[in-house]
Amino acid sequence: MGVKQQTAVAHPNLALIKYWGKRPGELNLAATDSISLTLDGYRTATAVGFEGGLEQDVFTLNGARRSAERVTKMLDLVRRETGLRCGARVDSRSTVPTAVGLASSSAGFAALSLAACAAAGLPTDVARVADFARRGSGSAARSLLGGWVEMRSGAHDDGSDFTVGELAPGNPWDVSVVVALTSRKAKRISSTAGMNRTAATSPYYGAWLESAAADFGNAKRALLEGDFQAFAFLAEHNCLKMHASAIASTPPVLYFEPATLAAIRTVWELREAGTGAFFTADAGPQAKVLCETKDRPRVEAALRATAGVLDVIAMSPGPGAWLR
């Protein structure tokens, strides 16, 4: 068969209402519905070409050969759907630092799944591609879309009512995300291992699931009503509840570093002084601060002056994934 190479580009997304925990089964369905913001700035461009005669997938990231294990796992689903038997050459170029909690996998698997579907001749509408993206990394399905995005697992065991959708297209608020980089080391525990351990051992996992469902409904309403302060406050609280449930696991799942806590204090001091800044953090030590763009210079300066913060990176809302 001739090679048809396709390239897709995707940006990371930041979860404001978190997915933390999986439903039983192989489909990688989240136990909680989530809301995210796709960001500009960092991006991943991935080229996929299925090649007759290639027995294994060959994966390169920024020119260096890498283990293709997770790539192959996702491409196997595409091969199963299409009857393709050959391996693929996957060449990914990414500006997102990997495994430090900057959502590199969300951009990576969104770009990979879109490029793979196109290269294999499968439909490339978001609903179809999202099923593949989610299998690679739960949060990746959200990066297929731009701006504010909701991801809902639905109720069916076969995942047939799983959806991702753009919320409030047109961007209701002029917001920025300022990332306080607190560590360049790889995260201690992957998000999958962290959430599985939380589900298996944390006495607070049940409480997390219950309050996450309420947070999703309330945050979506605040977003649709244009109430930024209410939305961002819910997001910050949702993040703390996710981490509280994780910290209570055995052994503990603790992603914060001292500088993460210092950045959180800075955000609270900013708020006490009248600036509407709100933090969130994922499976890593970086503090990510949501604010209105008019307040961005003040937030950047305060984070820069925070002990232990290595760098400050500001981002704006970004578009969904596209084929190049």
Contact 95, 42 (CB under 8 A): yes
Hey, CA dihedral for 188, 192, 194, 196, is it positive or negative? negative
Identify the residue among 105, 176, 202, 260 touching ligand PMV (CB under 6 A).
105
Per CB under 6 A, the segment of 15-23, 112-120, 154-162, 216-224 that binds ligand PMV is 15-23
Q: Which is nearer to ligand PMV, 84 or 103 (CB)?
A: 103
Q: CB 282 → ligand PMV: shortest distance, Å?
A: 4
* Burial (Cβ within 10 Å: 0-12, 13-18, ≥19) of residue 262: middle
Number of amino acids touching ligand PMV (CB under 6 A)? 13
Footprint of ligand PMV on 282-301 (CB under 6 A): 282-283
Asked if 98 is part of the footprint of ligand PMV (rule: CB under 6 A), the reply reads: no
Footprint of ligand PMV on residues 180-209 (CB under 6 A)?
A: 191-192
Residue 44 touches ligand PMV, criterion: CB under 6 A: no
Binding of residue 11 to ligand PMV (CB under 6 A): no
- Look at the block and give the residue holding tokens 């925070």: 306
Q: How many Å separate Cα 179 from the centre of its chain?
A: 14
Cα gap 133→105, rounded to integer Å: 10
Euclidean distance between CA atoms 21 and 139, whole angstroms? 12
Q: How far is CA 286 from CA 39, 219, 295, 310, in A?
A: 15, 23, 20, 10
Cβ 269 to ligand PMV shortest distance, Å: 25
38 near ligand PMV, judged by CB under 6 A: no
Footprint on this chain of ligand PMV (rule: CB under 6 A): 15, 18-20, 34, 105, 137-139, 191-192, 282-283
